[in-house]
Amino acid sequence: MIGEFAKSKAGRDKDHLYIIVEEKEEYVYLVDGIYKLLEKPKKKKKKHIQLAYNKIDRNIKEKLKNNLAVQNEEIKRVIKLYKAGSQI
């Protein structure tokens, strides 16, 4: 799941788009590069998100899996491109 796009299905942030940066048991940790930064990701139950299947930024996914530095600006750019309908 790490590196995949996810949309919130419940809560104040309903329909907000994030990227999954960590997964633990029934929770995922989400960032958007603007309000929820890598330094303090949003903790959300898996049942409250909807995955955007086959939508993964491979560059960010590899960086996260290999514990390499990812910048909030990269996250923000990738989400913006996804919303605009560009190929990632």
φ/ψ region of 10 (left if φ > 0, alpha if ψ in -120 to 50, else beta) reads beta
Domain 4-84 has CATH 2.40.10: no
Q: What is the pLDDT of residues 25-63, one digit of tens each?
A: 999 999 999 999 999 999 999 999 999 877 788 889 899
What is the reported pLDDT for 84?
87
Quick one: how far is CA 3 from the chain centroid?
6
Q: CB of 55 within 8 A of CB of 4? A: yes
Can you give the pTM of this predicted structure?
A: 0.89
Proportion of the chain above pLDDT 70, given as a percent: 95
pLDDT of 57 reads: 80
Closest CA to 5 of 68, 86, 61, 63: 61
